[in-house]
Amino acid sequence: MALRTASGLAAGLVLLIGCAAPRTETQGPGSAAGSVQGPKVLTVAELREPATIYGFTGEGGSGGGAGTAGDLLHDSLAQTDAFEQRHPSLAAEVPAVERGTWRINPDGTMDVTWKLKQGVTWHDGAPFTSADLMFTLTLFKDPELQTWDAGAARLMQSASNPDPYTFVVHWSRIDILADLPRALTPMPRHLLEELYRTDKAAFENSALFRDQFVGLGPYRMTAWERGSHIEAVRHDDYHLGRPALDRVIVRYIPDPNALVANILAGSIDVILPKSIDLDVALHLRRQWEGSGNVARIEALPRIAYMELMFRPEFARPLNGLPNLAVRQGLYHALDRAGITEVVTGGLGPTADSWFDPNDPIRRELESSIVKYPYDPARAQQLIGEGGWTRGGDGSLIHTSGERFDIEVWVNPQTSDAAAAIVVDNWKRVGANATMHEIPAARGNDREYQSRRPGPLVTGASTAFPGIVDRYDSRDFASAGNQWAGRNRAGYVNTRADALLDQLKATIDARERLPLLEEQIRICTSEVARCRSIGNRGR
């Protein structure tokens, strides 16, 4: 389930893009017009240079780690938008129950059929067919290769390609994310299969995953200068149409300050998301007013949340967060609009659940979301119902004599500003709230964070992959599982567990909706932070 106290902290984590007007190369004076505009060139910069482009060495990390270059050079069967909606790309359509291309079998297995577009070609002109996907899945299922989607590949029990434009995957069990083409990042069979079969070490180190990469994207690689940049030119036969730019350069600048200096100097055109902080982007936008340059800052449907603590062996004060009335009161005490203003510069909406106001399914779920508007008086009343009254010095004292001492923990990567406002808001209703910053060295220490006495303000996230596993009472973090359980907060609700199971096994959007309505009603009424199961069948 989900801490609504947390979900409202900073909805709409911003996407940061600073971009100057795209530069063009021009011919010298000699044309009839005096200056003839030349090729359209865009220079993009990001912090991290990939080790490979979708290679199998493990250096790329999750998703192959190809970054911007991967998006320019390659394509996938389907793309996912900000609200986790799938849109066909290399595929002619996304698998769906209503089309008969996503079918659950009586034995609990699934068959998912991908229909491919015809006429799609690799950068070298070879046709892209279902044989490439058969080869691709072979690679992802190979235990000797380091792949980033091995978990999904294991669930793909077998596959077939009855014709060049049809690829059918047989799944060993139901997976609600089967329309997300995991373990199916296309690999060029005509270039890699023989090397893979004859010399696996040479395959892993092939230049085809580096400076000789051949993909299906809008641009094809022409050069890769290690430690500096990748250059790519337009792929005229790109299946979605002729790309607008003639050439794209991706520069790798590992220092955020150097990124800003370069864009101010005009040597780069675009700084990609997460490379610079919001305050820097806002400063650039103010500095560039009237100059023709643009600092575009977009709100994304991402949610910063606060993970509460329910476990009586750890929670302090003991009569604090474990008490529902107190949780509700503390949530009414939060000026979530003020927090959003500080954290997003006023650019992001204020969250009241894990479904963004612009999410396509939000309208269907609106009536199921229990709202907690900022209301200090109502907050004080609810906290009082939990047995707390304010003493002579204004501090909350419980009927048991316990003082309301509460620590708000903050992850190293999370903005302290949000947590500081939470602390201030709670002090205003009498809590002796303090902020505890988790040391960077303990940022991944699960036992340390699982045994915390109070709430944890943690990083922004989307609903993806849409499983409410962090509040599954069957998955407590404990010494018995080396604190690896995802439910660190100790939340228990057997009906929520049952809904989780049903949502994991339900792919039809019409059948999922009533389950999602009940799930969000439980989460928001109990002020229990949770992640969604998704918005379509999601």
The ranges assigned to domains in the chain are 4-13+302-525, 22-208
Region class of 506: left (phi > 0), else alpha (psi between -120 and 50), else beta: beta
Of 356, 460, 526, nearest to 5 (Cα)? Answer: 526
Fold of 4-13+302-525: Dipeptide-binding Protein; domain 3 (3.10.105)
145-160 tens-digit pLDDT: 999 888 999 999 999 9
Q: What band does 252 get if pLDDT is binned at 50, 70 and 90?
A: very high
Which of 132, 140, 261, 144 is closest to 199 using CA atoms? 144
Name the pairing type of β-strands 229-234 and 219-225. antiparallel
The larger pLDDT score, comparing residue 228 to residue 459, is at 228
The count of C-alpha atoms lying within 13 angstroms of the C-alpha of 332, restricted to the half-sphere facing its C-beta, is 18
Q: How far apart are CA 349 and CA 344, in angstroms?
A: 9
Tell me the pLDDT band of 459, cut-offs 50, 70 and 90.
low
pLDDT band (50, 70, 90) for residue 271: confident
Tokens of 70: 């991967």
Instruction: Select from 474, 395, 473, 407 the least CA-distant residue to 434.
Output: 407
Query: Quick check: 512 and 533 in contact, CB under 8 A?
Result: yes
What CATH architecture applies to the domain 22-208? Alpha-Beta Complex (3.90)
Over range 309-320, report the average pLDDT: 95
With cut-offs at 50, 70 and 90, classify the pLDDT of residue 415. Answer: low
Give me the pLDDT at residue 449, please: 94
Average pLDDT over residues 213-232: 97
Q: Are strands 110-115 and 102-104 parallel, antiparallel or unpaired?
A: antiparallel
Least confident of 61-65, 72-76, 401-405: 61-65
Q: What is the pLDDT of residues 471-492, one digit of tens each?
A: 889 999 999 999 999 899 999 9
Q: What is the mean pLDDT of residues 28-40?
A: 51
What's the helix, strand, coil split of the chain in %, to 5? 30, 20, 50
Distance from C-alpha of 374 to C-alpha of 44, rounded to nearest angstrom: 42
pLDDT class for 528, splitting at 50, 70, 90?
Answer: confident
Q: Which pLDDT value is given to residue 33? A: 41
* pLDDT score at 2: 25
Separation of alpha carbons 331 and 156, rounded Å: 43
d(CA 318, CA 301): 34
Confidence at 7, pLDDT banded by 50, 70, 90: very low
Percent pLDDT > 70 in the chain is 86
Cis bond upstream, residue 127 (ω within 30): no
Determine how many CB atoms are found less than 10 A away from the CB of residue 429: 22
Among 58-72, 154-168, 347-361, 416-430, the least confident range: 58-72
Cα separation, 55 vs 263, in Å, equals 31
Distance CA 138, CA 169 (A): 12
Question: Looking at residue 418, what is its pLDDT?
Answer: 86
Phi, psi of 334 (to 5 degrees): -85, 125
User: Which range, of 295-299, 348-352, 364-368, averages the lowest pLDDT?
Assistant: 295-299
Q: What is the pLDDT of residue 281?
A: 79
Place 14 in a pLDDT band, splitting at 50, 70 and 90. very low
Question: Region 65-82: what's the mean pLDDT?
Answer: 91
For residue 29, the tally of other CB atoms under 10 A from its CB is 9
pLDDT one-digit tens code per residue, 101-146 = 999 999 999 999 999 999 999 999 999 999 999 999 999 999 999 9
Lowest mean pLDDT of 250-254, 298-302, 312-316, 442-446, name the range.
298-302
What value does the mean pLDDT take over residues 390-405?
A: 96
Q: What is the pLDDT of residue 29?
A: 34
Handedness of CA 200, 202, 204, 208 (dihedral sign): negative
Rounded mean pLDDT, 222-228: 96
pLDDT confidence bin for 51, thresholds 50/70/90: very high
Extract long-range pairs of 33-39: CB within 8 Å, 24+ residues apart: 39/246, 39/247
- DSSP annotation string for 147-213: -TTHHHHHHEEEEEEEETTEEEEEESS--TTTTS-TT-----HHHHHHHHHH-HHHHHT-GGGTTT-
Q: What is the dihedral of CA 262, 267, 270, 274, to 10 degrees?
A: -20
Mean confidence (pLDDT) of the chain:
85
Q: Is the dihedral of CA 172, 178, 182, 184 positive or negative?
A: positive
Bridge partners, 231 (sequence order)? 223, 249
Q: What token pair was written down for 236?
A: 């005229």
pLDDT at res. 78 = 96
State the Cα angle at 378 between 375 and 379, rounded to 5°.
80
- CA separation for the pair 92, 487 (Å, rounded): 40
More confident residue, 146 or 460: 146
Is 60 exceeded by the pLDDT of residue 273?
yes
- DSSP state, 90? S
Mean pLDDT of 432-449: 93
Contact 308, 489 (CB under 8 A): yes
* Between 82 and 333, the higher pLDDT residue: 333
Which amino acid, 497?
D
